[in-house]
Amino acid sequence: MSVKVFDTQEVQDLLKAAVNVDSKDGNARFKQIIQRLLGDLFKAIDDLDITPDEVWAGVNYLNKLGQDGEAALLAAGLGLEKYLDIRMDAADKAIGIDGGTPRTIEGPLYVAGAPIRDGVSKIDVDPDPRAGPLIIHGTVTGPDGKPVAGAVVECWHANSNGFYSHFDPTGTQGEFNLRGAVRTGADGKYEFRTLMPVGYGCPPQGATQQLLNELARHGDRPAHVHFFVTSAQHRKLTTQFNIEGDPLIWDDFAYATREELIPPVVEKTGGAALGLKTDTYKDIEFNVTLTPLVQGKDNQIVHRLRAASA
Ligand code: MBD
Ligand code: FE
């Protein structure tokens, strides 16, 4: 039995009533979007003959998703966040912006408010015996290739359990552990002294992993480090690099990997003299090229709910 009711007057009237289209009140943009999404949902129910049981399973799923606080995690896992990047890449191309360090998704685990230091910051505050020392450094340049002074490079990453401070279920990381911010000087250089991260995995009992299980997908990311790079004269860059050699590099559940964002990992000695916990350490050079403002404006500022810590 596959009835079709979507195109009936009754259903079209119901859609219009639900969105209050006949009123001039309310938020016009919001109404436009809800009308489209609700209509597409109604149509899908008709086309696929989605049963009441399936609809209520979906409604209950949304409740669990919210209870677990995982809506933004699911957005990453379903490729919605990557899709926004693809659109921003295309928008840049259309106006002739290229040559900057590629963007890739922010993800749901940024925390605002890390202390800003000049040039270099040691960001491993809590001990992590299984993690070896890692130095991340590079130069921020503008589209002209010249170093950018006064840029703020923020980074955040996981510990050797794949957990981020502020979101760590074990409660064993202090605020801003493995999170930092550095302001560049005239040479445009930044450096973070930290510990090698391990890839993230979705909470196994959470709503996101529950959905991924039905798709026969894993919820894991390769080891990676996130960045925001801001400068008054340039557009904000949101990006990450992956740790070279991670087996999941091309199998990221959030689709954030890009060819240009896998810098070499170099093994170095001399860590003892730098105060690192072992003399051998890993070194990653990650240089960043920023892009110009568009008609004097930064069109890369994305507003989303983010955690903050004082
Ligand atoms: C992460 O660390 C992350 O970067 C994303 C996108 C999703 C979940 C965890
Ligand atoms: Fe991450």
What's residue 101's pLDDT? 98
* pTM for the full predicted model: 0.97
pLDDT digits (tens, 9 = 90+) for 112-164: 999 999 999 999 999 999 999 999 999 999 999 999 999 999 999 999 999 99
Q: Ligand 1 pocket test: which of 68, 70, 73, 111 has the largest number of ligand atoms within 8 Å of its C-beta?
A: 73
Asked if residues 282 and 83 have their Cβ atoms less than 8 Å apart, the reply is no
Asked if residues 264 and 244 have their Cβ atoms less than 8 Å apart, the reply is yes
Counting atoms of ligand 1 from 1, which one is nearest the CA of 107?
A: 6
**Site of tokens 């040691």:** 122
What's residue 309's pLDDT? 85
Q: Which of 103, 105, 120, 110 is nearest to 256 (CA)?
A: 105
Q: What spacing in Å lies between the alpha carbon of 39 and ligand 1's midpoint?
A: 31
The ligand that comes nearest to the alpha carbon of residue 76 is 1
Q: Ligand 1 pocket test: which of 82, 200, 224 has the largest number of ligand atoms within 8 Å of its C-beta?
A: 200
Q: What spacing in Å lies between the alpha carbon of 196 and ligand 1's midpoint?
A: 16
Query: Does the beta carbon of 140 lie inside 6 Å of ligand 1?
Result: no
The amino acid present at 220, given as its one-letter code, is D
The residues that bridge with 267 in the sheet, in sequence order, are 282
Query: Does the beta carbon of 111 lie inside 6 Å of ligand 1?
Result: no
Q: What spacing in Å lies between the alpha carbon of 35 and ligand 1's midpoint?
A: 31
> What is the Rg, in whole angstroms, of the alpha carbon atoms belonging to the chain?
23
pLDDT digits (tens, 9 = 90+) for 9-48: 999 999 999 999 999 999 999 999 999 999 999 999 999 9
Query: Does the beta carbon of 281 lie inside 6 Å of ligand 1?
Result: no
Is residue 1 pLDDT above 80, yes or no? Answer: no
**Biggest CA-to-CA distance, the chain:** 78
Nearest residue by C-alpha to atom 9 in ligand 1: 200
* CA atoms of 178 and 17, how far apart (whole Å): 50
What's residue 303's pLDDT? 98
Query: Does the beta carbon of 200 lie inside 6 Å of ligand 1?
Result: yes
pLDDT-based confidence at residue 310 (cuts at 50, 70, 90): low
End-to-end CA distance of the chain, in Å? Answer: 58
pLDDT digits (tens, 9 = 90+) for 83-104: 999 999 999 999 999 999 999 9
Cβ–Cβ contacts within 10 Å for residue 199, how many?
A: 19
Nearest residue by C-alpha to atom 3 in ligand 1: 107
Q: Which residues contact 95 (CB under 8 A, 6 or more apart)?
A: 294
Q: What spacing in Å lies between the alpha carbon of 53 and ligand 2's midpoint?
A: 35
- Domains of the chain listed by start with CATH number: 96-308 (2.60.130.10)
